[in-house]
Structure formats: C-alpha cells, structure tokens
Chain A
Amino acid sequence: MEPLLKINFIDYLIIIIYFIFVLGIGYFLRKAMITSNDFLLSGRKIPAWITGLAFISANLGALEVMGMSASGAKYGMLTAHFYWLGAIPAMVFVGVFMMPFYYGSKARSVPEYLKLRFDEKTRAFNALSFAVMTVLASGISMYAIAIVFQMMIGWSIHFSIFISAIVVLVYIFFGGLTSSIYNEVLQFFLIVFGFLPITILGLIQADGWGNLATKMETVVRGSTHIWSNLGNTMNNPMGIEWFGMVMGLGFVLSFGYWCTDFLVVQRAMAAKDITAAQNTPLIATFPKILFPFIVILPGIIGISLFPKEAFFSDAGKIDYNRILPVLLGKYLPNGMLGIGLTALLASFMSGMAGNVTAFNTVWTYDIYHAYINKKATDKQLLKMGKYTTVVGVLISIASAYIALGFANIMDYLQLLFSFFNAPLFATFLLGMFWKRSTGHGAFWGLLLGTLAAGIHHLLVSNGIISYYSEMASNFYQAIYSWTTAFVLTIIISLLTKPRPENELVGLVYSLTPKPVTSHIPFYKRPSSLAFAAIILTIIFNIIFW
C-alpha cells in the first residue's frame, strides 16, 4: 500500500521539534507538581485565556477535526449547527449559569458535585460511567491516529500507537493537568496555522465562497444553507427537520456535552478564580464561532473541487474520513505539509491527553479516595494520580480497536454521548435549578434515562424504528433519553424526602448569592462576554440562513 503523502526530511524535522517541545513542557513543569491538587487540578491558578483555549482544544481532538471535515463533505454547512446552534449557546450557559456552582462548591470533579448536591450512589454511577466512556474515547483517538498515519505516511499501526501513547504518558506523568492544558493551548495554535492554509487555498481555487457553494449544491443538494432546508426531512442531506435539530443537537446533545462532560469542565475548574472559571467557556466561544471555517470548509472544498475518486478507500468506496488527509497532501508542499501533519498529530495527542487527565482525576478522587482508601494522604493521592496515568494509557491501548467498523467516527462519538451525557444534563439542570430534586430522583432518573438510550439504540439497530439518517437517529435518541431522565427525576423527587435547604447553599441557584462583578471592568464581566458571543452567533446564523 502506497502512502498518500510524500514527506521528506523537512517535514520530519518539524515533527521532531514538536515532540521535543511537548516533552519539554512536561519536563519543565515537573517541579511544580507538589500536591495532588497541583497534579490533578493545576492548583487552580491558571489565567482565563489559557484555560479558555484549552477548553476548546480538549474537545478538538482528531475525531472532531476529521469528523467535522467528513461531516462537512457529507452534510455541508448543516454541520455548522454543531457550532452555531449547539456548542456556543451551551458554552454560554455553562459559563454564566453553571460555573458558579461547579467552581464555587469547591468540588474537584463533576461526579464530586453530584455527591455534594445529591448522594453517594449518583456520584458512583456517574464516576464509573464517565471513567468507562473516557477511556473508550481515548482508545478511539489512538486507533484513529494509527489508521490515519498508516494511510498518510506509511507508519505501522503499532509504531503510531506506541509513540503517541508514550509521549502522552510522559508529559502527563511529569506535568499533570497543567502539562495537558499547556499542550492544548499549543495545539490550538498549531491547528489554526496548520489547517487555515487549506481553507484559504481552497477558496482561492474555487474563486470565492459563492462559486464554491454553487458547486457544492450540485454535489450535495440543500447543503449550503443551515436553516432554509430544515422544513422537511427530504430537503436536506442530514434527513432531519428543525425540531429534531434544535431539541436533539441544539439542546440535549450540546448542553449535555459542554455542561456536564468533565473533560471540558475540568479546564474551567483549573482557573484561578470564579470570574476566570466563568470566563473560560465564554472566551472559548469566540474562536469556536470561527472554527467551522477551519474544520468544516475543507470538507466542502474537498468534495466540490476534487473528483470523488480522490477520496476512495482501497475497497473503492468513498471514505469521508480521508478528506482532510488527502487535502493536506493536495494543497501543502513539503514544509507546510510538516506543519499540517504536526497539527493533526497534536490534535490526536491532546484529544487523548484530555481523556487521560479527566480519567486520572475521577479515578483518584471519586473512586480511589471515595471507596477504596478513604483515609488516603495527599501524598498517596498524588502517587495514585500518577499511576492512574499509566493504567489509563494502557486501557486506552486495549480499547483502541473498539472504534473499528463505523464509517463516520463523529456519528459513533455522538452515539456514545447520547448514552451518557444526555440524561446527565437532565440531572444537572434539575439539581442546579430546582431545590426540591432529591438524590433518589437523580439516581433513578439518570439510570433509567441511560437505559432508555440503550433500548432506543437496540430498536433502531434491529430495524423496529427507522430514521432518514444515522445522525437523525442519534438526535432523537438523545431527546428520548433526556426526557426520560427529566420526567422520572421530577416524579421520584416529589415522592421522596427533600434535603434541608441549609445543606444546599452554594449548590442550587435559588439558594446561592450571585457572584459580584461590579469591581471588574465591563469587558471582563461574564455577562458582557456572553452577550457579545450570542450576538456574533446570531449574525453567522443569519448570514448562512
């Protein structure tokens, strides 16, 4: 099998320099890792712009980058709903309304907040399911890196898995969460500088967005407007109408992910104070609003400007996950190709590192400290955090092969999220904003909501329920699972004994004093940033209506 890209010494030199910097960051941070708090929570002293960029980078793993360009080719601009309908409103919500409880409650993790607000069993359920999900996701990243690098430059699968695992292991083992966050910020800039030239050259070749859009419409009908074709499932390539889109993706999936997934929330928890924690997702919204142009447009450019055969797999069928790697080779000559490959490599590794650091923290604080060794000293916790890094990486390697057999990795990831995050968002919404909700309600709602997602998935895979696309099926699965959790939590809460109000101060909206912002200049206030982000998002929705 001939590799797709011909790389030379200059590209290798760039990749090697990148590895040196990544490991160097871990090495120079090792002395700052004194307590478990330093290692697992960055000692809560990182400025907001850094945690903000890490917040988007942690989510910007290779799956996102390649999955988004794959979806861009399949569904066109409709993919931008993941950003302008999904991510941005959810990020604003978590920053303005939820962060005061996450950060203010002094919880060290999402499961720990559940313990403070509800009870032990809710925490245990969330900690265990999150730990499983996160190593699975990490395994997918590793599997993906290996396949892509084999296809692109002919590295053997074993070599890619070994090198990425060892590098991630080393820099987290020495530098902990801080090392992961610093590398995520570096990765953010690498992705921008590595992929932006593809969009620019593609737009030059197409002679502007107008011409590109005309060509795209002839390839995939209804794919260059984000709202005007949502009246009917037949008119757009995603096979979904606006209700499923708004409720499924816009509300349940996106809020579920951005508001409850510890992988991203952990970045905000590492911020230096409550305003910085609130501003973390809010600062992140601004680059996030522009990311469709870097990650979705290449998909549109690839499928409209090049013959389909360019993206065929060895089996002779179109493979959407090949679009980005093929475009890297088409547009970037040696030199810039090294930068593009480094960007892809960086996103693979920090996607994995994000999972490993989140797994670390949940295992150490919510499983080890909570159930296995309740009297652990901080020294033992730090040691456990470090060992868990090793174990987490090993489990990731083992789970790397589960990802096999799905055409579009993004759909697969959405599938996982709808099992775990969708019902969890119902739990958090009720927990933070309804003081009457109880531990029993939360636990059973969460459990049965997850079960509902599982049952729906079984019905779909056996053909009893069918949708126009896999994407539509995932959106509705999320809606059913969220609704089940929401309704059952309310019913069971009303039937069980509420907790006394004085125990819920700092954990529930109506019982917690609002953070005072009058001493902060207005442009640094969470409310002003939130307002600006919403206005900008509305503008983009209108432009691409």
Chain B
Amino acid sequence: MLFDIRLPIGFIFTIFGSIVSLYGLLSNQNIYDSHSLGININVWWGLVMFIFGTSFLIFAFRKKAKNE
C-alpha cells in the first residue's frame, strides 16, 4: 500500500547533503570567493541538508518499528 513519504524525502536529502558537502570539501576555495561571499556554502548547507534528511529517516524508521 502507501509508503511513508518521509522515506524518499529522508533518503534524497541525505544523499544530496553528502554529495554537496563532500564536493565542498574537495573543491577549490576560489569558487566560493567568486560566488558565495567567500563562505563555503556547499559544506555548510550540505550539512544542513544531511541533518534534515537523516532526521526524517530516523522518524520514518521509528514509526515503522512502532507499527510492527
């Protein structure tokens, strides 16, 4: 039947967060100087997305465990 919407949202943001922050760690600082005021937005915002994604996953799996 219907699956929990928190699962795909949790997965996609965990993946996006990991990719973006990893890329942020590996990329050259001058792309941040020319775009985001010198702030490494990839690392920071990637981390925000990662935390958001994993917390959705935790909610989803907790609920699943409770229902079973």
A residues neighboring B (CB under 8 Å): 10, 13-14, 17-18, 21, 24-25, 28-29, 31-32, 45, 50, 178, 182, 185-186, 189, 193, 197, 201, 204-205, 330-336, 338-339
Chain B, residues 32-46, CB within 8 Å of chain A (1/0): the string is 101111010110011
Tell me whether A201 and B9 are in contact (CB under 8 A). no
* Shortest Cβ gap from B27 to chain A (Å): 7
- The interface residues of chain B lying within 8 Å CB-to-CB of A31 are 1
Q: Is B31 located at the chain interface by the 8 A CB criterion?
A: yes
Q: Beyond A13-B19, A335-B24, is A32–B1 a contact (Cβ under 8 Å)?
A: yes
**Residues of A with C-beta under 8 A to B19:** 10, 13-14, 17, 335
Distance to closest chain B CB from A17 (angstroms): 6
A-side contacts of B45, CB under 8 Å:
193, 197, 336, 339
Complex alpha-carbon distance, A186 and B15, angstroms: 14
Cα separation A25 to B2 with both chains bound (whole Å)? 10
Q: Within the complex, which residue of B2, B13, B31, B34 is in contact with A29, where a contact is CB–CB below 8 Å?
A: B2
Assess whether B9 is in contact with A339, with CB atoms less than 8 Å apart.
no
List, in ascending order, chain B residues with CB within 8 A of A186's CB: 5, 8-9, 12
Extra 4 A-B pairs, beta carbons < 8 Å, given A193-B52, A201-B36, A205-B37 = A178-B2, A186-B5, A189-B9, A336-B45
Instruction: Enumerate chain B residues within 8 angstroms of A338, measured Cβ to Cβ.
Output: 20
Would you list 9 pairs from A and B whose C-beta atoms are within 8 A, ordered by A residue?
Answer: A17-B16, A18-B12, A21-B11, A186-B12, A189-B9, A193-B52, A201-B39, A335-B27, A339-B49
Most buried by A among B16, B46, B48, B49: B16
Q: Are A193 and B49 within 8 A (Cβ)? A: yes
Give the nearest-CB partner of A196 in chain B: B45
Chain A positions within 8 Å of B13 at CB level? 189, 193
Q: For B12, what are the chain A residues with a Cβ–Cβ distance below 8 Å?
A: 17-18, 21, 186
Residues of B within 8 A of A (CB): 1-3, 5, 8-9, 11-13, 15-16, 19-20, 23-24, 27, 31-32, 34-37, 39, 41-42, 45-46, 48-49, 52
Which of A17, A330, A331, A334 makes the CB contact (< 8 A) with B23?
A334
Closest to B2 in A: A32
| A45→B2 contact, CB < 8 A | yes
Query: Do A201 and B37 touch across chains, with their CB atoms under 8 A apart?
Result: yes
Q: Let me know if A336 and B39 touch, CB within 8 A.
A: no
Residues of chain A within 8 A (CB-CB) of B52 are 189, 193
Residue among A29, A45, A197 with most chain B CB within 10 A: A197
Q: How far is the CB of A196 from chain B (nearest CB, A)?
A: 8
Closest to A18 in B: B12
The answer on a CB contact under 8 Å between A10 and B23 is yes
The answer on a CB contact under 8 Å between A185 and B2 is no
Closest beta carbon of chain B to A145's beta carbon, Å: 21
Question: Which residues does chain B contribute within 8 Å of A193, judged by CB atoms?
Answer: 13, 16, 45, 48-49, 52
Those 5 A-B pairs whose CB atoms lie nearest each other, nearest first = A335-B42, A333-B35, A333-B31, A335-B23, A335-B20
Interface pair A14/B32, CB less than 8 Å apart: no
Taking a contact as CB atoms under 8 Å apart, the answer to whether B42 and A333 are in contact is yes
Checking A185, A197, A204 against B9 with a beta-carbon cut-off of 8 angstroms, the contacting residue is A185
Per the bound structure, the CA–CA distance linking A249 and B19 in Å amounts to 43
Which chain A residues lie closer than 8 Å to B9 at the CB level?
185-186, 189
Given A14-B19, A186-B12, A193-B13: A333 and B32 interface contact (C-beta under 8 Å): yes
Which residues of B lie under 8 Å from residue A336 when comparing CB positions? 20, 36, 41-42, 45-46
Contacts of B15 in A (CB 8 A): 17
> Within 8 Å CB of A21, what residues of B?
8, 11-12
CA distance A436 to B39 in the complex (A): 64
Nearest CB in chain A: distance from B64 CB, A: 15
Q: In the bound complex, what is the Cα–Cα distance between A130 and B8 (angstroms)?
A: 32
Choose one: B1, B8, B37, B48; the contact of A204 (CB below 8 Å). Answer: B37
Q: Closest CB of chain A to B33's CB: distance in Å?
A: 10
Complex partner residue of B35 from A13, A18, A28, A330, CB under 8 angstroms? A330
Cβ A335 vs Cβ B2 within 8 A: no
Beta-carbon contact of B36 and A331 below 8 Å:
yes
- State the Cβ distance, B49 to closest chain A Cβ, in Å: 6
Q: Among the interface residues B2, B32, B34, which one has the most CB atoms of the partner chain A within 10 A?
A: B2
A residues less than 8 Å from B48 (CB atoms): 193
> Distance in Å from the Cβ of B65 to the closest Cβ of chain A?
19
